Amino acid sequence: MSDLQMPLSPQFPRAASARSERAKAPEPPVRILALETSCDETAAAVIDDGRFIRSNVVASQIDLHAAYGGVFPEMASRAHVEAIGAVIARAMKEAEAGWESVNAVAVTRGPGLPGSLVVGVNAAKGICLARGLPLIGVNHLEGHIYSHWLETALPAGQPAWSFPLITLIVSGGHTELVLMRGHGDYELLGHTVDDAAGEAFDKVARLLGLPYPGGPAIERLSQTGNPNAFRFARPKISPRRRTEGAHSGLPRPYRDQALYDFSFSGAKTNALNLTRELGAQAAARAADVAASFQSAVVEWLVEKTLLAARDFDARAVLVGGGVSANRLLRQRMALAAEAARLPVSFPPLALCVDNAAMIGAAAYQAFLRGERDGLALDVSPELKLGA
């Protein structure tokens, strides 16, 4: 018999080792438990990889505050204390998540009502201390921006947004126009100099005898009104000095102008004067007043947002916050963006209101950057974004 070793037949290749055949186990997701208690919603969510919502639980206090026509801060904080434990437990149960699978706890640290913020931050600290988990404090406004990164908000097949982006955050407490150059890189372009848009909706709703919250009530009434019945004067906003280096993308003569600021107190005063002038006819013309007011506010929001998108060569426009649920705003913004050949995004209605899923999405980016907050984390009721 020959000492030569016969070559293996090509029809019978060497068997691969068990190690090489074994499929590589998928990496577990970065799982974040997020809490949100900045105003009158007690919320908890479990988010995987900043995109996938495993649970999103919100306990609303609308009925509690309706009798007051707005949020009563002391009652809000007490309601958070009563609800927070059950909301967290439900979020973990719905996500079918064990504590060993959680990588971090995120919580809104501001802006918001001080007493409400404290409840969420203290709950998050307690969990982190007991479970040995890192804590990430999140800006509530940043959360509204990152609602657009959640799987349910992204267009089909699109993994993320391209920068730069113009983001309009419009709610009961905020109306801010922000340039987003990248993750964690923001510049505040404009804000309301008086009432927030949602606040103006609430105040005009009270003038018209409508229930709280005022935004949805005005929207419903407007459906039977004439948006051209009354003219609401365009606000005049005084120029303000910017911080050093602000608006570096614009020619110097424009940097100190209030190009992107908003004002809604004048529209509120117009509505008040109209109801007085109408006298006995005010109730009969309430739908016309509501429709005209809503149309004016939406026009100003769309106009300044698209102006900023043009000036800063934005790749897309993102709109978030409670008022972003308004149908007229969605329709007009979509038409204006289409004319400008710009993509525009609104979150699903469930993500327009305050929720913890958006806080988890924002916290994921901070987690990737290695940002952690210790147990000394404090609330910041006046926290700014990109100022």
- SS (HEC) of the chain: CCCCCCCCCCCCCCCCCHHHHCCCCCCCCCEEEEEECCCCEEEEEEEECCCEEEEEEEEECHHHHHCCCCCCHHHHHHHHHHHHHHHHHHHHHHHCCCHHHCCEEEEEEECCCHHHHHHHHHHHHHHHHHHCCCEEEEEHHHHHHHHHHCCCCCCCCCCCCCCCEEEEEECCCCEEEEEEEECCEEEEEEEECCCCHHHHHHHHHHHCCCCCCHHHHHHHHHCCCCCCCCCCCCCCCCCCCCCCCCCCCCCHHHCCCCCCCECCHHHHHHHHHHHHHHHHHCCCCHHHHHHHHHHHHHHHHHHHHHHHHHHCCCCEEEEECHHHHCHHHHHHHHHHHHHCCCCEECCCHHHCCCCCHHHHHHHHHHHHCCCCECCCCCCCCCCCCCC
pLDDT per residue as tens, the chain (387 positions): 444 333 333 343 444 444 443 455 568 899 999 999 999 999 999 999 999 999 999 999 998 998 888 899 999 999 999 999 999 999 999 999 999 999 999 999 999 999 999 999 999 999 999 999 999 999 999 999 999 999 887 777 777 899 999 999 999 999 999 999 999 999 999 999 999 999 999 999 999 999 999 999 999 999 999 999 999 988 888 776 544 444 445 443 344 458 999 999 999 999 999 999 999 999 999 999 999 999 999 999 999 999 999 999 999 999 999 999 999 999 999 999 999 999 999 999 999 999 999 999 999 999 999 999 999 999 999 999 986
* pLDDT at residue 246 in the model: 47
* pLDDT at residue 28 in the model: 87
Q: Which domains can be identified in the chain, with CATH numbers? A: 31-146+356-368 (3.30.420.40), 161-346 (3.30.420.40)
